Amino acid sequence: MMNFRTFILGLVASFGLPWLCLIVIPAMKYQQLTPVAYDKEKDGVEGFYPPAPINGQGQLIYIREGCNQCHTQMIRPAQLGLDGWYKGWGQDQEARPTTPARPNELRDYLGEKYALLGIQRVGPDLANFGWRAPEAAKLHVHLFAPRSVHDWSTMPAYTKLYKVQKIQGPSSDRALKLPKKFAVPAGYEVVPTEEADRLVEYLLSLKKDYPVPGQAAAVAAAAAPAKK
């Protein structure tokens, strides 16, 4: 009997406790969070943190296509002072950022239905991709044929988000400008579907480094117009 009790206690200690600390308590804390208003005087910004909710439709396509299997959207707190200093990871696109991209906080995900922290970082973190993104047309080319951008890319080609159609009359002004190696047969063109457009809008909106109320460094970075 004694052994059975120890066994149950052991079970609770090894599974119950981590469950409580890693899942239940953080979930309860997260549910209590609400957006915070900026203090115009101190923060130099108006409105709420986090600002507008993200493009939900695009996010659903991102989820459906499993992009979060390979891409995280979370900058970790600096370990040994290294993380966050990668080139172009935040708003600062200089080769040697003067301020590291700030680690993400719980509130950064409040405007989203799902917090896509990601599973593995096979591809680059996309938390602040909007700052370094190319123009939409180039992003479509990347999604249609990742290897046309980097020949070593292991990212799958999302051709099903695009339509290959026969050119009738003048070619569409939305037609992707593909390099020769990835071009479709003569007389055909590739155009983005509605879903591809929503996905690209979503990717371009990823800027999860809004100034945090009361954190002067982040505010200063956002206020500097040269870095916009």
Minimum CB–partner distance for residue 3 and ligand HEC (Å): 48
Binding range to ligand HEC, per CB under 6 A, among 38-46, 152-160, 181-189, 216-224:
152-160
Nearer to ligand HEC, 107 or 140 (CB): 140
C-alpha–C-alpha distance, residues 211 and 143, integer Å: 30
**Would you call 91 exposed, middle or buried from its count of C-beta atoms within 10 A (0-12, 13-18, 19+)?**
buried
The structure tokens listed for 191 are: 């155009």
Nearer to ligand HEC, 62 or 210 (CB): 62
Which residue in 60, 155, 175, 183 binds ligand HEC (CB under 6 A)?
155
Which residue in 54, 74, 145, 203 binds ligand HEC (CB under 6 A)?
203
**Would you call 31 exposed, middle or buried from its count of C-beta atoms within 10 A (0-12, 13-18, 19+)?**
exposed
Closest CA relative to residue 67, chosen from 116, 133, 6, 136: 116
149 lies in the site for ligand HEC, by CB under 6 A: yes
Binding range to ligand HEC, per CB under 6 A, among 1-9, 49-57, 116-124, 220-228:
116-124
C-alpha–C-alpha distance, residues 198 and 211, integer Å: 26
71 lies in the site for ligand HEC, by CB under 6 A: yes
C-alpha–C-alpha distance, residues 182 and 24, integer Å: 49
Which residue in 97, 100, 118, 146 binds ligand HEC (CB under 6 A)?
146
The structure tokens listed for 50 are: 């986090």
The footprint of ligand HEC (CB under 6 A) covers 62, 65-67, 69-71, 122-124, 129, 146, 149-150, 153-156, 158, 199, 203
